[in-house]
Chains A and B, each alone.
Chain A
Amino acid sequence: MKRLLSVLMVLMLTSAVVFAGGSSEESAASDGVTTIRYWQHSSAARDEMMLKVIEMFEAQYPQYKVEAEFIPEADYNQRLIPALATNTAPDVFQIQQGMVSKLAEVGSIQPLDNSVMSTESIQSDYLNAAVDGLNYNGMYYGMPTDTQTIILLYNKDHFRAAGLDPENPPQTWDEFFDAARKLTIKDENGNLVQSGWGGKGYWCEVAAFVVQHGGTMNDENGDFNFADNPASVEAIRQYISFYKDGNYSTSFTANWAGFRQGLISMMLGHPAMIGNLVTTAPNLDYGVALIPAYEGRHTTCISSWAYVASSRADSVAATTFIQFLASEEVERMWTEETGQLPVSLSLVDDPSIASDPKIALAIDSLKDSFVGTLQTGALNSIWDDGMERIRDTDADLETVLHEMQTALNEELHTQL
């Protein structure tokens, strides 16, 4: 026993020495050139594009050199968190928008350098709904990237088969639910053969539906309050009724896979799916439309990632790089080549930016939008688990919503 304890003590001391000695690499500056280390989650199209952008940045700012690392999305958090924990995070990196306030709170990231990007210029030049979530204690800690709204994607062949006009997609929620029911097909035993809509409670969809119907998801302090707001509860009940009535089931098929395979007729989703479907379902004849409206408003929900600078980065260098990444010139490239939505006000109103009418519609969706508040993995898990209980069990809707709200607020207020 004594020997075991001695071994454990030695291991603990050794580990303390090893972990206490974590490296503290700084942005290297040699020969007047400052190196900026940059990480982003990887996808073939994004990586190629980012390399082009870095080349342009280095040509414009010869005093900076960017060392980029592209990490598969599944491994991104597992790489980034240990780097933050040991103060070895890259100078600039991407993070889910909801993480910005958490990282700012613990001091792992720094505000954008005011001498490079002023608070006023950000507020006047960018869509407020896209940058609001990046403001912590009155200072902006990053700029948005991979900005998404919710739009409607629908299968034109299914519309034709059901006698609906494929060039006139549903404009209102009544039309939408009516079409979804007409597009749902069951066999003689009542089993689903085709589902009109694959909605299963994705946060941004529900939030847009609730806000349009006069409900709220959060109060003025940012706390979740949907369970205490009768309009929100009623809207969620209405949203989920399509699913509860057996018009779609997750055991029928996964929703996006089903849309690609022609088993689901309509999906509410991110405009990024437009680029995705080009390769994953090249033969699918589909159209896009704004999210259906209630009382004439197609209000939609924005989610995004953000470029942020670690607390140990050279403030001016990191902000200069982030400013370049968020510049009109680069946003235009992203939109034209990948379909990512711009957030510069000048581009949102610029009709020349998108020749593809689907992309143009997606950009149009930004004009009536609000920032989504559920933008961390933990918050999403709580929401998804709760929606699963609402969908797939007989649990009382209001009880589950209250439990979800309590868990979300507890998570939101976790002291890090």
Chain B
Amino acid sequence: MKNKAIKQGLNRTRLIPYMFVAPAVLYIIAVTMIPAVMALPISFTNWSALSPNKKFVGFENYIRLISDKAYWESCLVMAKFFFYVPIVMATGLGAALLLNQQQKGTQLFRVIFYAPVITSTVAVAILFDWFYQPTFGLFNAILKSLGLSPIGWLQDPATAVPSVILFKVWKDFGTAMLIYLAGLQDIGSEVKEAAMVDGANVWQRFIHITFPLLKPSHTYLLLTNIINVFMIFQETYVLEGALNSTRTVVNYIYEQGFQSFRMGYASAMSFVLFLFIIIVTIVQQRFSKMELA
């Protein structure tokens, strides 16, 4: 009798964590997983989304995708955005190292650096669009006051992607900073003290102790930021570079789905993107496990 009660209690205890995560899991299934999976059957149709009528077209959308020059150009634009990943991680790490000290004012700077993360992307992107204005924008005014030549920013296809990367780094490095701060605080002081006793200088301690011990943070940030790059949309929707120089795959999917009403084709592109993200995630996880082993 007593054993049964203990068993029931244990079962209940085991259920509790699932109950906590259930709302989030159900939400993700409903608003992310189901629409993502739905893209597959839709991708085999010519659905316009202007009516419920659909016609099965087999692999037509996938074949079209192979020869669609604009699609591959948008892939190239997206590829350029991968430079964002090491930059945002390095900036976040730098900020975390500076703020991982018990000095007056560090709390304030943590708040200031994290503030862009919680601001509306569209609202601040509009603000940056003004800052990037070549003739009257803030950034060129600063460059001119320093005696430097103005830059075309978004108006110049050569500088458009770096301009958006600059904006994204400013907007997102607070998240990387927070993750690295948590990681830094997990590193026991005894390890560093032992290294100091052995005569290691600041740089040696960083390279041989701090950086390797931050590996879980690196892995998490690398994965989430790579996925983030695959999904860039709002930033490039507002900060539109000249001659489609910032049109990413997601922007192109949006154009095809919501402007040209080729929802079947847009779904095919979405599904290919979805597969890419899954493959990258699996490969990255395998590498991480191998390295940990």
- A residues neighboring B (CB under 8 Å): 8, 11-12, 14-16, 18-19, 22, 77-78, 81-82, 84-87, 102-103, 106-108, 191-192, 250-254, 311, 376-378, 381, 385, 388-389, 392-393, 411, 414-416
CB closest residue in chain A, given B129: A254
B134 with A108: CB separation less than 8 A: no
Other contacts beyond A251-B155, A253-B136: 12, CB < 8 A: A11-B33, A12-B41, A15-B35, A77-B258, A81-B50, A85-B51, A86-B52, A102-B50, A252-B134, A252-B135, A392-B242, A416-B261
Selected contact of A15 from candidates B34, B47, B259, CB within 8 Å? B34
**Inter-chain contact B155/A84, CB cutoff 8 Å:** no
Q: Which residues of B contact A12 (CB under 8 A)?
A: 37-38, 40-41
A81 in contact with B243 (CB, 8 Å)? no
Across the interface, A192 reaches (CB within 8 A) one of B35, B37, B135, B260, namely B135
Would you list which residues of chain B between 35 and 74 have a CB under 8 Å from chain A? 35, 37-38, 40-41, 46-53
* Residues of B with C-beta under 8 A to A107: 51, 53
In B94-139, which residues have CB < 8 Å from any A CB? Answer: 133-136
Say yes or no: A103-B135 contact (C-beta < 8 A), given A18-B34, A388-B243, A414-B262.
Answer: no
Contact A381 B255 (CB under 8 A): yes
B173 to chain A, nearest CB (A): 28
Say whether B152 faces chain A, with CB atoms less than 8 Å apart: yes
- The CA-CA distance from A236 to B12 in the complex, in Å, is 76
Query: What's the nearest-Cβ distance from chain B to residue A39, in Å?
Result: 15
Chain A CB within 8 A of B29 CB: yes
Q: Is B228 an interface residue (CB 8 A)?
A: no
The answer on a CB contact under 8 Å between B243 and A415 is: no
Q: Are B52 and A388 in contact (CB under 8 A)?
A: no
In the complex, the answer to whether B53 meets A19 with C-beta atoms within 8 Å is no
| Interface: B263 (CB within 8 A) | yes
Q: Report the separation of the CA atoms of residues A97 and B35 in the bound assembly, to the nearest whole angstrom.
A: 31
Query: A199 → chain B, closest Cβ, in Å?
Result: 17
Q: How far is the CA of A191 from the CA of B149 in the complex (A)?
A: 13
Q: What are some 25 contacts across the A-B interface (CB < 8 A)?
A: A11-B29, A11-B34, A14-B34, A15-B38, A16-B38, A16-B41, A22-B52, A85-B263, A86-B52, A102-B50, A103-B51, A106-B53, A107-B51, A192-B135, A250-B155, A251-B134, A251-B152, A252-B135, A254-B133, A377-B258, A381-B259, A385-B243, A388-B243, A415-B46, A416-B51
For B263, give the chain A residue with the smallest CB separation: A85
B244 within 8 A of A: yes
Give the complex CA separation of A103 and B50 in angstroms.
Answer: 7
Provide the B7-49 mask, 1 if CB < 8 A to any CB of A, else 0.
Answer: 0000000000000000000000100011101101100001111
What's the dominant secondary structure at chain A's contact region? helix
B99 to chain A, nearest CB (A): 37
- Cβ of A378 and Cβ of B259 under 8 Å apart? yes
Would you call A377 and B259 a contact (CB within 8 A)? yes
Contact B135 A108 (CB under 8 A): no
Complex alpha-carbon distance, A354 and B54, angstroms: 48
A404 to nearest B CB, angstroms? 14
Partner of A84, one of B51, B133, B152: B51
Closest to B243 in A: A388
Shortest Cβ distance from B250 into chain A, in angstroms?
Answer: 14
Residue of A at shortest CB range from B152?
A251
CA distance A389 to B242 in the complex (A): 9
Give the distance to chain B from A333, nearest Cβ to Cβ, in Å: 32
Chain B interfacial positions (CB closer than 8 Å to A): 29, 33-35, 37-38, 40-41, 46-53, 133-136, 152, 155, 242-244, 255, 258-263
CB distance from B41 to the nearest CB of A (A): 7
Nearest Cβ in chain B — how far from A175, in angstroms? 28
Indicate if the CB atoms of B242 and A388 lie closer than 8 Å. Answer: yes
- Chain B residues within 8 Å of A11, by CB: 29, 33-34, 37
| Cβ-defined partner of B261 (8 Å) among A8, A18, A378, A393 | A378
> Which residues of the partner chain B approach A87 to less than 8 Å between Cβ atoms?
51-52
Is A85 a contact partner of B52 (Cβ separation < 8 A)? yes
Complex contacts, B47 vs chain A, CB 8 Å: 85
A374 to chain B, nearest CB (A): 13
CB proximity of B158 to chain A, nearest CB, Å? 12
Interface centre among B48, B53, B255 (most CB of A within 10 A): B48
Are A416 and B37 within 8 A (Cβ)? no
User: Could you say which of A14, A378, A381, A416 has the most chain B C-beta atoms within 10 Å of its C-beta?
Assistant: A416
Q: Chain A residues near B259: list those with CB within 8 A.
A: 376-378, 381
**Chain B residues, CB < 8 A from A253:** 133, 135-136
Determine whether the beta carbon of A378 is less than 8 Å from that of B260.
Answer: yes
Residues in B neighbouring A8, C-beta threshold 8 A:
37
Report A72 CB to chain B, min CB distance, Å: 12
Chain A contacts of B49 at CB under 8 A? 81-82, 84-85
- Find out whether the CB atom of A84 lies under 8 angstroms from the CB atom of B50: yes
Q: How far is the CA of A254 from the CA of B258 in the complex (A)?
A: 26
Q: How far is the CA of A414 from the CA of B52 in the complex (A)?
A: 17
A15 to chain B, nearest CB (A): 4
- Which residues of B lie under 8 Å from residue A393 when comparing CB positions? 243
Among B51, B152, B242, which residue has its beta carbon within 8 angstroms of that of A108? B51
Interface centre among B52, B135, B243, B259 (most CB of A within 10 A): B52
With A11-B29, A12-B37 in contact, do A416 and B135 touch (Cβ < 8 Å)?
A: no
Distance between A132 CB and nearest chain B CB, rounded to angstroms: 22
The complex places the Cα of A297 from the Cα of B135 at a distance, in Å, of 37
CA distance A77 to B51 in the complex (A): 14
Q: Report the separation of the CA atoms of residues A415 and B261 in the bound assembly, to the nearest whole angstrom.
A: 10
Chain B residues whose CB sits within 8 angstroms of the CB of A251 once the complex forms: 134-135, 152, 155
With a cutoff of 8 Å between Cβ atoms, the chain B residues found around residue A84 in the complex are 49-51
User: Complex Cα distance A389/B40, Å?
Assistant: 35
Please state if B37 and A15 are interface contacts (CB–CB under 8 Å): yes
Complex CA gap A85/B33 in Å reads 20
Instruction: Kindly state the separation between the CA atoms of A103 and B51 in the bound complex, as whole angstroms.
Output: 8
Complex contacts, B33 vs chain A, CB 8 Å = 11
A106 close to B243 (CB less than 8 A): no
B37 partner residues in chain A, CB cutoff 8 A: 8, 11-12, 15
Closest residue on chain A to residue B258 by CB atoms? A77
Bound CA–CA A392/B134 (angstroms): 15
B155: which A residues are within 8 A, CB to CB?
A: 250-251
Q: How far is the CA of A392 from the CA of B53 in the complex (A)?
A: 41
